[in-house]
């Protein structure tokens, strides 16, 4: 089994009010078959055994590319340079012996650092709570195909629903915009009959909450699509912009 000897440059920060800094660690004899998170596990075990430093704090849960918890910026790229994967799906065979790897948290004012590589992404939860739901009573589950949905609309809804809310779109954007996340959450409901009645109100509420959380504006440079582990298309942003424009117009025309 091939082994790698690496140098890690890791962001260490005791808490949200600490300035933080980059610390250097040796990662020796790392199996090529290990995942990136397993590599960090090995480094942490050695730090604990030797007492050389406090273990590196990072987020993880499913380690199967489903939950989006393992959000790390690796060599300046959210989730690393491979397309369509999360950090936990990145394996050490993608690196070479002797490499230096820079590991930082997702950077955004709306994602304050809790400790080291862990950020607070509850801003996404508040955006979702602002409008990412269907409030009408849908009743019991209907029979299959009871509500006809065009194939194109169904596929677009499924594509948007694949969003795992990891925040890579925000971390990759020079403006720290959350438009791809908001667009995906609004679009997968808006494409379906159950979500159509609230489509415009949903867009208005979620965008307003996004702005309140401190995310930046979208300038259509598509870094978000390139970094998204689920490869969600920016076409959903165009749809959200249309819905938001209509909602804003209606909001101004309808008397309070």
Domain extent for 208: 122-253
DSSP bridge partners of 9? 24, 102
Using the Cα atoms of residue 166, residue 169, residue 171 and residue 176 in order, give the sign of their dihedral: negative
Question: 151: which 2 tokens?
Answer: 């194939």
Q: What is the CATH number of the domain that holds 86?
A: 3.10.20.30
Say if residues 207 and 185 touch (Cβ distance below 8 Å).
no
- pLDDT tens for the chain, 256 residues long, are 799 999 999 999 999 999 999 999 999 999 999 999 999 999 999 999 999 899 999 999 999 999 999 999 999 999 999 999 999 999 999 999 999 999 999 999 999 999 999 999 999 999 999 999 988 776 677 676 677 888 999 999 999 999 999 999 999 999 999 999 999 999 999 998 889 999 999 999 999 999 999 999 999 999 999 999 999 999 999 999 999 999 999 888 866 5
Same-domain check for residues 137 and 183: yes
Task: Characterise 102 by phi-psi region: left (phi > 0), alpha (psi -120 to 50), beta (else).
Answer: beta
pLDDT at 45: 97
The predicted structure's pLDDT at residue 238: 96
Residues 95, 175 share a domain: no
Are residues 133 and 106 located together in one domain of the fold?
A: no
Contact 60, 67 (CB under 8 A): no
Q: Show which of 73, 93, 115 is a domain's final residue.
A: 115
Burial class (CB in 10 A: 0-12, 13-18, 19+), 20: middle
Global confidence as pTM: 0.92
Residue 212 sits in a domain whose CATH number is 1.10.1060.10
Q: What pLDDT shows up at residue 148?
A: 82
- If asked whether residues 172 and 217 sit together in one domain, one would say yes
CA–CA dist 45, 17 (Å, integer): 27
Residues 131 and 94 in one domain: no
| Predicted pLDDT at 144 | 64
Beta strands 113-115 and 77-78: pairing type? unpaired
pLDDT of residue 255: 61
For helices 179-190 and 235-253, give the axis angle rounded to 10 degrees: 80
């Amino acid at each position: 089994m091939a082994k790698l000897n690496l140098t890690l440059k890791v962001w260490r920060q005791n808490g949200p009010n600490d300035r933080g800094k980059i610390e250097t660690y040796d990662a020796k004899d790392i199996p090529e078959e290990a995942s990136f998170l397993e590599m960090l596990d090995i480094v942490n075990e050695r730090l604990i055994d030797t007492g050389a430093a406090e273990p590196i704090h990072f987020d993880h849960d499913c380690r199967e590319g489903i939950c989006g918890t393992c959000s790390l910026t690796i060599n300046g790229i959210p989730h690393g340079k491979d397309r369509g994967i999360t950090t936990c799906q990145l394996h050490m065979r993608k690196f070479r012996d002797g490499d230096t790897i820079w590991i930082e948290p997702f950077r955004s004012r709306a994602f304050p650092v809790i400790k080291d590589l862990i950020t607070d992404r509850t801003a996404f939860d508040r955006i979702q709570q602002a409008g990412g739901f269907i409030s009408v009573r849908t009743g019991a589950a209907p029979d299959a195909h009871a509500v006809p949905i065009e194939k194109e609309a169904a596929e677009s809804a499924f594509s948007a629903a694949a969003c795992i809310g990891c925040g890579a779109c925000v971390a990759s954007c020079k403006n720290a915009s959350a438009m791809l996340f908001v667009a995906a959450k609004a679009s997968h409901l808006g494409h379906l009959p159950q979500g159509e009645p609230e489509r415009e109100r949903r867009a208005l509420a979620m965008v307003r909450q996004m702005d309140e959380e401190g995310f930046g504006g979208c300038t259509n440079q598509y870094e978000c699509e390139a970094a998204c582990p689920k490869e969600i298309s920016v076409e959903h942003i165009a749809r959200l912009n249309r819905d938001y424009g209509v909602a804003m117009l209606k909001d101004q025309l309808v008397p309070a």
